[in-house]
Chain A
């Protein structure tokens, strides 16, 4: 590799100029590819770990529910099921929710990486709660959803009569990061919500936007959305 090319390769974690032997990659790069791929596959297939349930989830005393997908295998094969909770589960959740209207409903979903929750939430979640408290923004009962997708927060927030839904969800893993988190913010969420209604803050992880800073940043975004009474593309168009 020329000096120029190796300089280029240093600029990105992508696999540039890794070389080859005949038609095959070199053993080193093949092994590291396999290893990174395995981490990504694990992230998709793994359930939220027991230590996370015992630690984080117990500490904040959060209810854990599962979508219609039921288990991980079915979730991966039938993605639409990850958008909905059953009526029974929803009714049970409703009994734990405050009866008054609230500003923000926080939902934590495993999405395609439960690792993302475990890595980022211990720093991000308390920052988010502190910030919302300071700004006198009311929050309901935070819910953890297994086999959940972005839209599941609409259903929960609609039931909770929340003005805004926050879904902290594990992103689809790639070969350079398997623990990246996104925050989807939706104003006035409900059955008619579509994707363009959502504001998203992505790439939250140690080498992207640090989770601490992301927590404080999400608070600022929430304040703006509540002030402007809109989110997603509409909000972006304001400039």
Chain B
């Protein structure tokens, strides 16, 4: 009986790269007389790597460099890629814009097992950080409304959480690495600046290559002001005076995106949580002889801390702040299927299954054909199984005869698909659908899985059942939904 999983997370960010291995413990949350519901009960960080600077080569991520870091991490902890049950590799923040993102994931696939999740994008990152920081869990337990603010080198990812549900997410291009700094003869040298960084310098009327400590602090305050504006917290008067118009528009858009119904107004939010690399610095504001990561992050963190201390709402810098996103990735990428699955263990595990989203509202045959052609999949050539994701199903309208007719039309169309045929639904009908299908096409190997949300997914891994015993009432299957989102 296996009720714990080892999950690896690798975060390749704008500034830093780090890895975490966590142990996820599963537990049945339903009461004894009900159909069991397995959920992740506890996550325990088993190993965590040092925080490395992201290896770069010619302005792009150095895939081999990342692979070496990963190898080193495994070696230090005597880990073998085969011991890892699941996991995710994330290319986050500005790094995801690098054109070689895909090449990087290819380079490390060998070491991350086959659990590679190539993912990025502000919505996903915000959600992952909110999970990894513990804000989602805390909100679910206390029914409080939390805003999780994950500040990294290139981006800030914000999530609004109420009752354990992520209501809104927002990614903005505000980070600590927009200006790189280094001590030089008791002055700070501006060694590098991004486009946004150049704007920031202009706004603070800084034209010299070396600046004073006061000027660096001023840069940090400006950056903090922008963040507050995006959060709908700032006194915006100052911003309207002489700022870059484009930037202002972007921020206004950002704050509107987050607060159309004033959900984020101060009185509705119970707590602000900070995570991410810059947030981690908020707790370590000691002497300034040394600038962590040689960038604006330190000053940014100091300014936020100062401002936030005056907010009427409690703030919290989460433990292992810099690792929030990667911890979240290890949990989020893994979904445990509802217990009423139907799959024979002999067919599993399956890796990299293409997802085909098919609406049940019309002619299934034509839906599937068009879904296949959109993805340029030739049915005759297709030898790998695909997964049909049935959408637009509703428990309120489904009854015995409508489920039967759905199964009949499914039986017809899945005839040409390679086996095993995988059918996925969000609502709880896997066992009943499977039973009817087996009656109709008894010789086809079919796997039905429910309770899985694959809205954003492109590919799927289906792992081995978590319990090896024959008790179907407690069997569950770990599912990894993979996305291929890259910044455009």
Mark A residues whose CB is within 8 Å of B: 3-5, 7-8, 10-11, 122-123, 126-127, 130-131, 134, 182, 200-203, 206, 208-210, 212-217, 219-221, 224, 227, 236, 238-239
Q: Is the interface of A mostly helix, strand, loop or mixed?
A: helix
7 residue pairs, one from A and one from B, having the closest CB atoms:
A216-B431, A7-B143, A8-B143, A202-B33, A216-B432, A212-B432, A216-B435
A212 to B425 CA separation, bound complex (whole angstroms): 14
Given contacts A130-B436, A134-B435, contact A201 B34 (CB under 8 A): yes
A215 near B432: Cβ-Cβ < 8 Å: yes
Q: Are B400 and A209 in contact (CB under 8 A)?
A: no
Considering the complex, give the chain A residue whose CB is closest to the CB of B430: A213
Total A-B residue contacts, Cβ distance less than 8 Å:
96
Given A130-B435, A130-B439, decide whether A220 and B472 contact each other with a Cβ distance below 8 A: yes
14 extra A-B contacts, CB within 8 A, seeds A201-B34, A212-B398, A224-B471: A4-B142, A4-B145, A4-B270, A127-B435, A134-B435, A201-B33, A201-B35, A216-B434, A216-B435, A217-B473, A220-B472, A220-B473, A238-B471, A239-B471
Give Cα A54 to B469, complex, Å.
Answer: 44
- Per-residue interface assignment for chain B, residues 149 to 172, with 1 indicating a CB less than 8 Å from any chain A CB and 0 otherwise: 000000000000011000000000
Contact B431 A220 (CB under 8 A): yes
15 cross-chain CB contacts under 8 A: A3-B268, A7-B144, A8-B163, A122-B400, A127-B400, A130-B436, A131-B435, A209-B428, A213-B340, A213-B430, A217-B431, A219-B435, A220-B431, A224-B471, A236-B32
Q: What is the bound-complex CA distance between A239 and B400, given in angstroms?
A: 32
Say whether B429 contacts A209, CB under 8 Å.
no
Task: Give chain A residues whose Cβ lies under 8 Å from the Cβ of B142.
Answer: 4
Q: Taking the nearest CB of chain B, how far is it from the CB of A238, in angstroms? A: 7
**A210 in contact with B471 (CB, 8 Å):** no
Bound form: Cα–Cα A28–B212 in Å: 66
* Chain B hits for A201, CB < 8 A: 33-35
Cα–Cα, bound, A236→B268 (Å):
46
Q: Does B470 contact A (CB under 8 A)?
A: yes
Chain A CB within 8 A of B288 CB: no
- Inter-chain contact B438/A134, CB cutoff 8 Å: yes
CB-CB nearest in chain B for A122: B400
Residues in B whose Cβ lies below 8 Å from that of A214 = 35
Q: State whether A210 touches B435 (Cβ < 8 A).
A: no
Q: Which residues of B contact A (CB under 8 A)?
A: 1, 32-35, 142-145, 162-163, 267-268, 270, 340, 395-396, 398-400, 403, 427-432, 434-436, 438-439, 469-474
Report which of A4, A126, A206 forms a contact with B396, defined as CB distance below 8 A: A206
Chain B residues in 8 Å Cβ range of A3 = 145, 267-268, 270
A212, B396: Cα distance in complex, Å: 12
B432 touches A209 (CB 8 A): no
Question: Which one of A127, A209, A220, A236 contacts B34 once the chains associate, using CB atoms below 8 Å?
Answer: A209
Say yes or no: B162 contacts A7, CB within 8 Å.
yes
**Contact A126–B33 (Cβ < 8 Å):** no
Known: A210-B428, A220-B431, A224-B470. A203 touches B34 (CB 8 A): yes
B400: contacting residue among A203, A208, A212, CB under 8 A: A212
List residues of chain A with CB within 8 A of the CB of B471: 224, 238-239
- Shortest CB-to-CB span from B286 to chain A, Å, is 36
Query: CA separation between A239 and B435, bound complex, in Å?
Result: 24
Contact across chains for A4 and B144 when beta carbons are under 8 A apart: yes
A201, B291: Cα distance in complex, Å: 61
Contact of B473 among A11, A202, A221, A227 (CB under 8 A): A221
A202 partner residues in chain B, CB cutoff 8 A: 33-34
Shortest C-beta distance, B402 to chain A (Å), equals: 10
A223 to chain B, nearest CB (A): 8
Looking at B396, B399, B431, B434, the one whose CB has the most chain A CB atoms below 10 A away is B431
Shortest beta-carbon distance from B46 to chain A in Å: 26
Interfacial chain B residues near A219, Cβ < 8 Å: 435
User: What residues of chain B lie closer than 8 Å to A203, measured between beta carbons?
Assistant: 33-34
Of all chain A residues, which has the CB nearest B267?
Answer: A3
B301 CB to closest chain A CB (Å) equals: 29
Which single residue of chain A is at the shortest CB-CB distance from B434? A216
The residues of B that contact A10 with a CB separation of less than 8 Å are 163
Task: Write the chain A residue with the least CB distance to B428.
Answer: A213
The verdict on A11 contacting B143 (CB below 8 Å), with A3-B268, A238-B471, A239-B471 known, is: yes
Cα–Cα, bound, A239→B163 (Å):
33
| Contact across chains for A209 and B35 when beta carbons are under 8 A apart | yes
Residues from chain B with Cβ under 8 Å of A131 in the complex: 435
A224 to B473, CA, bound (A): 9
When distances are taken between beta carbons in the complex, the residues of chain A under 8 Å from B469 are: 238-239
Q: Compute how far the CA of A24 lies from the CA of B400 in the bound complex, rounded to whole angstroms.
A: 45
Closest to B163 in A: A7
The residue of chain B having its C-beta at the shortest distance from the C-beta of A215 within the complex is B432
Contacts of B436 in A (CB 8 A): 130
Most buried by B among A209, A212, A216: A212
In the docked arrangement, what's the CA distance between A143 and B368, Å? Answer: 44
> Given the complex, which residues of B lie within 8 Å of A215, measured CB to CB?
432
Q: How far is the CB of B146 from chain A (nearest CB, A)?
A: 11
Q: Hey, which chain B residues are within 8 Å of A221, CB to CB?
A: 472-473
Contact A200 B435 (CB under 8 A): no
A122–B404 alpha-carbon span in the complex (Å): 13
Question: Chain B contacts of A182 at CB under 8 A?
Answer: 33
On chain A, the residues within 8 Å of B1 by CB distance are: 239
Chain A residues with Cβ below 8 Å from B428 are 209-210, 213
Could you say which residues of chain A place their CB within 8 Å of the CB of B439?
A: 130, 134
Question: A11 to B163, Cβ gap below 8 A?
Answer: yes
Measured in the bound complex, the distance between the Cα atoms of B436 and A134 in whole Å is: 9
- Give chain A residues whose Cβ lies under 8 Å from the Cβ of B34: 201-203, 208-209
Bound Cα distance from A182 to B31, whole angstroms: 14
Quote the shortest CB–CB distance from B432 to chain A (angstroms). 4
Given contacts A134-B438, A202-B33, A215-B432, contact A123 B395 (CB under 8 A): no
* Min distance, Cβ A206 to any Cβ of chain B, angstroms: 7
Contacts of B400 in A (CB 8 A): 122-123, 126-127, 212
Assembly CA distance A150 to B432 (angstroms) = 25
- Residues of chain A lying within 8 A (CB to CB) of residue B143: 4-5, 7-8, 11
The interface residues of chain B lying within 8 Å CB-to-CB of A127 are 400, 432, 435
Q: Bound complex: CA of A201 vs CA of B32, how far in Å?
A: 9
List residues of chain B with CB within 8 A of the CB of A4: 142-145, 270
Please determine whether B398 and A224 come into contact, CB atoms closer than 8 angstroms. no
Task: List the B residue with the shortest CB-CB distance to A125.
Answer: B400
Whole-angstrom CA separation of A162 from B428 in the bound complex: 31
Contacts of A206 in B (CB 8 A): 395-396
Query: Chain A contacts of B32 at CB under 8 A?
Result: 236
